Structure 1
Amino acid sequence: MVSTTLPKSLFAVGIISALLIVPGCTQPVGDGNTISGSDLNKIEEDNKAKENYLVIDVRSPEEYNAGHVKHAINIPLDKLESRLSEIDSYKQKNIVTVCNTGKKSDKAQELLQKKGFEHVQNAAGVKDFAYTTMTKAKSVLGPQFAQLVKQGNATIIDFRDEKDYQQGHMKGALHATPDTVLTMLDQIPKDKPVLTYCYSGNRSFAGAHKLAEQGYDVTNAIDGTKEYAHYELVK
């Protein structure tokens, strides 16, 4: 009879391979300490790949608001240490730091590594590489997005499917798709901030980017309703 039991060595290889494809555990692209602008560009353009990375722009809010890499959140270098609790869940996940020239982001990388963040890479600066993923649509993590919603002074737009919107959405939220949002500008005041969300942050980012190009102050949740369980939804 032929044995169907795998040798222990092959079993171990299989377990390791399975772990490497779990979201957030993906082996980082690059040499371990740095990542090229080209590689970061590819990651941010890939809706699945970007789920495995948190990109932190450590420039000032003014520089960030003027244009930044797609999906990057903003934590200025001088605020980073005091705001580490916001990203504590990323200690074993892939983090990329970015700034203008790589100098501030290098200091941010060093700080994060000292604080126990295991997979931190420094990216080519936005002045050193022509990122094609630059945007003025801001991004925040789920808890920060929920706090912005609670402030009650923004226009909220839900980019999920209509049926899910009808089953429950953030209070007062409009419904749109990336294709229809620009037909709804009469419902979206320019003198108020705009908050966008969907399932995973991808569809809503597409809408947020279009609104930002029209001059809106728009912030997108990179943690969608499938990723952050504490959003308050009503019918």
Structure 2
Amino acid sequence: MKIKKIFASVVILVLVITIVGCSTSSNSSTNSSSSGTIKEMSGEELAKIQNDKDKKEKYLVIDVRSEEEYKAGHLQHAINIAVGDVKSNIDKIKFWKEKPVILYCNSGKKSKEAADILIAEGFKDVTNAKGVKEYTDYKLVKYNNILGEDFQKVITEEKGLFLDARKSSDYQKSHVKDAKNVDPDNLGDIEKILPEDKNQAIYTYCYSGNRSGVVAQKLVDLGYTNVNNALDGTKEFDYKF
């Protein structure tokens, strides 16, 4: 009789453990599903996105390395938010919560950490891409990319030199106060309108960040050290000129 009672108790205990285990497993699966998962991306794939003028518009690419590393060379259409500053800059990128966000660093470690933060903050489509030390064929640039809200603040402050890389007809309709209109396909004489001080802040903008990016790179090649390109162009952000 005692043996039967002991056996029955063991069976009940096993059932309880099994039920609790299943319940815990089920909760973990739900949490993982609700918070999202981090995708992986090869360097080749990210490079293709960066080189496609239309496709790159669908992604926000964030370099989570330090400001110094970013300035030394970064992906053409990437903004910089160091991994330690990601959480405090969520509002800055909240527009992208439901859209694809790609993160990268040197080796994938810091970008994975940043990806975890974004997932925890409710971002739905987060990808960790190969770092610049893992994939060496990335096209790197040395000008700074800024988002629309940051560029609007600069416009309001009226500080720095502004270069409008849109077509002349659009420039004539409206432009940033005192901005100079430049043609990215004809920059031979651009030095005539540039300041002597190579450290002065210069801001370039166009329709979507592509034409202005060409101008920004030209300025870097000429030795200017504080070049800022508006990644969000006039077709993507409602600027108040």
Taking structure 2 as the reference length, the TM-score comes to 0.80
Q: Note the residue ranges of structure 1 that are not aligned, 5 or more in a row.
A: 1-30
1:175 to 175, 181, 202: 181
Partner of 2:204: 196
Q: For 1:49 and 1:220, how far apart are their aligned partners in 2?
A: 19
1:209 to 194, 197, 217: 217
Name which of structure 1's ranges 101-110 and 131-140 shifts more when overlaid on structure 2.
131-140
After the TM superposition, list the runs of 4 or more consecutive aligned residues in structure 1 that deviate by more than 6 angstroms: none
Q: How many residues in Structure 1 have an aligned counterpart in Structure 2?
A: 202
1:157 to 146, 153, 163: 163
Partner of 1:23: none
Letter of the 1:204 counterpart: S
Superposed, 1:1-235 pairs within 5 Å as 33-189=39-195, 190-216=198-224, 217-229=226-238, 231-233=239-241
CA contact (8 A) 1:109 1:120 kept: yes
Letter of the 1:195 counterpart: Y
Q: Note the residue ranges of structure 2 that are not aligned, 5 or more in a row.
A: 1-36
* Deviation (angstroms), 1:154: 1.1
Taking structure 1 as the reference length, the TM-score comes to 0.82
Greater helix proportion: 2
CA contact (8 A) 2:38 2:128 kept: no
CA contact (8 A) 1:69 1:131 kept: no
% identical equivalent positions = 43
Q: For 2:137 and 2:115, how far apart are their aligned partners in 1?
A: 20
SS in 1 for 2:86: helix
Superposed CA offset, 1:128-181 (max 9, x none)? 111332100211110011122333331100011101101110001000011223
**RMSD over aligned Cα atoms:** 1.4
Q: For 1:135 and 1:111, how far apart are their aligned partners in 2?
A: 27
Larger C-alpha radius of gyration, 1 or 2?
Answer: 2
CA contact (8 A) 2:208 2:233 kept: yes
Q: For 1:36 and 1:213, how far apart are their aligned partners in 2?
A: 29
Letter of the 1:232 counterpart: K
